[in-house]
Chain A
Amino acid sequence: MAEFLGIDVGSISTNLALINEKGEVLHQVYLRTEGQPIEAIKKGMAEMKQNISLDSIQVRGVGTTGSGRVLAGTVVGADVVKNEITSQAIATLHINPQVRTIFEIGGQDSKIIILQNGIVVDFGMNTICAAGTGSFLDQQAYRLRIPIEEFGNYALQSTNPVRIAGRCTVFAESDMIHKQQLGYEKKDIIAGLCEALVRNYLNNVAKGKKICPPIFFQGGVASNSGIRKSFEKELGVKVTVPEYHKVMGAIGAALLAKEEIENTGKETSFRGFELVDKEYRTQGFECDGCPNHCEVVEIFIEDELIARWGDRCGKWSLTYSQVG
């Protein structure tokens, strides 16, 4: 058998997906990055190792994606390192080639991808501000003492959402506190927050984009049924949350690895599941070669230097940070 592994290292979560030659998902792992991407990757790999029988599996290719894709690619020995837009789109089209619009809301960024005839024709990402992404919802759930998993259900119970200013997370928070002080119910405030986030998304990330159904909603925040409902209410069309919405990036990376291996006939450079037992280490220094003072990072396996980057001029770089 030939399997392909995809790893999506985001700011908040690290996801893994193992697919077979037909592109079916054999196993998925979703866990929190907690600011330690290498640890998260190792943990994810260990969990996957436990749940599959290694004897019947042969990983023929590995792809990485997400904001930590270059680091992840270096750590596991990836065959392809791809951006999140392409990975998400590839995974969605694999599941349903008819999809025209993807809403993807993750931990610290959100995107919209417009598809036509099975290819990406336009996309948008949030610009300077992370308003309305998963981290903010996490923070508010914590402040309201509600587990994030329950957030959506609270919103669904509301019949009278309160209007919350969603333009900026700082203002949204003060607005929510103000509404709490006035005595509004938790569920109405939470529902109001969901609506504010959707408004903000549609007015910023999706600004000027033509949104056509079918629409897929994916990323960690798609687990929040309150947000999905607000999207449907605002747009007046059905919004589908696919089964593997949390690991779509990882599935896309795996599919891209499959495409790469099949096109080139290369052997995979995957370091194998043994890497969970290896010691990884990073260290940094500030280069004083010029006034830019770049912060250079070095990655070691055991004591062997495997990569170095972070400099603008390239005099320290040991791996090519890929564009395209």
Chain B
Amino acid sequence: MGNLKIGIPQALLYYEYFPLWKNFLESLGAEVIISGPTTKEILDLGVKSAISEICFPVKVFYGHVMSLKDRVDYLFIPRMVCVEKGAYFCPKFLGLPDMVKSSLSSLPPLIEPTIDIRKSATSFKNSFLAVGKLISNNSKKIYQSFYEAQKSFHLYLQSKENELNPEIININQQYSTKLLQNNMKNPLNIALLGHSYLVYDAFINLNLISKLKKTKINVLTAEMVRKQDIERKLKRLHKPIFWTLSKKIVGSAFYFLEKRIDGIIHLTSFECGEDSMIGELIRQESLKYPTVAYTEFVFDEHTGEAGIDTRTEAFLDMIIRRKRYESNHT
């Protein structure tokens, strides 16, 4: 049964789980095909095919599904419900496979494992094993593939931390050694926080990361903060956040605020309910740290480059001029 073509849309949870999915499916002999980075064509397809009330990121997802559907035997769209105690995915992820099936026609069959550890602690594993059976008859091989994929995924997550953590350590040193007095020569440390499908989709965020890097800015993201640090920072909230992805954003925002980096840009989607809640949480917390500049960029299909450039430029000017003022007055 080899050489099954399984399509994975490069949107939404792709940015969280792709290495895990890919390793598992490929080690069982399937061919994984991704839709590739978002383009204008994909965005147009998504806006045209998705229901108009749905949020922008889901529209983008639709575009990726449309561009993949005629090239693959199966579409891989898991139903992610719950992967940790006390937190869930947004309801749109819960209904994603249904939404896609009910509103798009002539789709290939979907592989749609439900991952919900509330039902059973082994739900994560079991759903993968069930998927494996679609591709292979060899139970032992399926088991093996799952454990290996999971192991390498954990290594991947850690490597993201380890690789990037030195930069954070660097910030602390800069501050403690007062190198900042000569701040114009030092790179600025700016965190880009938001759902990974906004932060890492360069088409949607209009190349924000590379624009910042071009101006010698050290870009930090939530992936660089260790999970235990995120959990620790979240403890200060009166009521826990019950969205898995938002927890990461808020926890890392609090972490970066405490580290007193130069600025935080929160990237949000216009129609996103989670974002509108946590945006306010982060904004209120940021008021306690007047030296950390904070702003929010809102994205949707109408977002033009000019507006984002103006805001980015003004935000950086604000930080640079403030630092210049501070170094002249201390």
Main secondary structure of the interface of A (DSSP, over half): loop
Minimum CB–CB distance for B195 against chain A, Å: 18
B40 touches A293 (CB 8 A): yes
Minimum CB–CB distance for A307 against chain B, Å: 16
* Assembly CA distance A312 to B304 (angstroms): 12
* Assembly CA distance A125 to B304 (angstroms): 14
Contact of B313 among A208, A291, A323 (CB under 8 A): A323
Contact of A67 among B42, B298, B310 (CB under 8 A): B310
A324 touches B283 (CB 8 A): no
Point out which of B42, B212, B315, B318 has the most chain A C-beta atoms below 10 A from its C-beta. B318
A321 touches B39 (CB 8 A): no
B207 at the interface (CB under 8 A from A): yes
B317 touches A82 (CB 8 A): yes
Minimum CB–CB distance for B53 against chain A, Å: 16
Contact of B314 among A121, A123, A321 (CB under 8 A): A123
B312 touches A323 (CB 8 A): yes
Within 8 A of A (CB), among B249-275: 270
Known: A83-B314, A86-B313, A121-B318. A128 touches B41 (CB 8 A): no
Identify the closest chain B residue to A117 (Cβ).
B325
Known: A82-B313, A292-B40. A208 touches B283 (CB 8 A): yes
* Assembly CA distance A123 to B314 (angstroms): 8
Per-residue A-contact encoding for B14-39, CB less than 8 Å = 1, 0 else:
00000000000000000000000001
* Assembly CA distance A312 to B321 (angstroms): 29
* Assembly CA distance A118 to B324 (angstroms): 12
* Assembly CA distance A128 to B309 (angstroms): 15
A128 touches B40 (CB 8 A): no
A120 touches B317 (CB 8 A): yes
B160 at the interface (CB under 8 A from A): no
Contact of B317 among A86, A125, A312 (CB under 8 A): A86
Residues in chain A near residue B310, CB distance under 8 A: 67, 83-85, 125
Known: A119-B321, A120-B318. A323 touches B270 (CB 8 A): no
* Assembly CA distance A117 to B322 (angstroms): 10
* Assembly CA distance A273 to B320 (angstroms): 33
Minimum CB–CB distance for A287 against chain B, Å: 11
A127 at the interface (CB under 8 A from B): yes
Within 8 A of A (CB), among B274-328: 283, 290, 293, 295, 298, 300, 302, 306-307, 309-318, 320-322, 325
* Assembly CA distance A324 to B309 (angstroms): 9
Within 8 A of A (CB), among B81-124: none
Identify the closest chain A residue to B300 (Cβ).
A128
Minimum CB–CB distance for A312 against chain B, Å: 7
B214 at the interface (CB under 8 A from A): yes
Minimum CB–CB distance for B184 against chain A, Å: 12
A291 touches B39 (CB 8 A): yes
B322 touches A119 (CB 8 A): yes
* Assembly CA distance A118 to B321 (angstroms): 10
A1 at the interface (CB under 8 A from B): no
B313 touches A322 (CB 8 A): yes
B39 touches A323 (CB 8 A): no
Minimum CB–CB distance for A252 against chain B, Å: 11
* Assembly CA distance A294 to B211 (angstroms): 18
B228 at the interface (CB under 8 A from A): no
Identify the closest chain B residue to A125 (Cβ).
B311
Given contacts A84-B310, A128-B298, 16 further A-B contacts (CB under 8 A): A67-B310, A83-B314, A85-B313, A118-B325, A119-B322, A123-B314, A125-B307, A128-B302, A290-B39, A291-B42, A292-B203, A293-B40, A293-B41, A323-B312, A323-B313, A324-B316
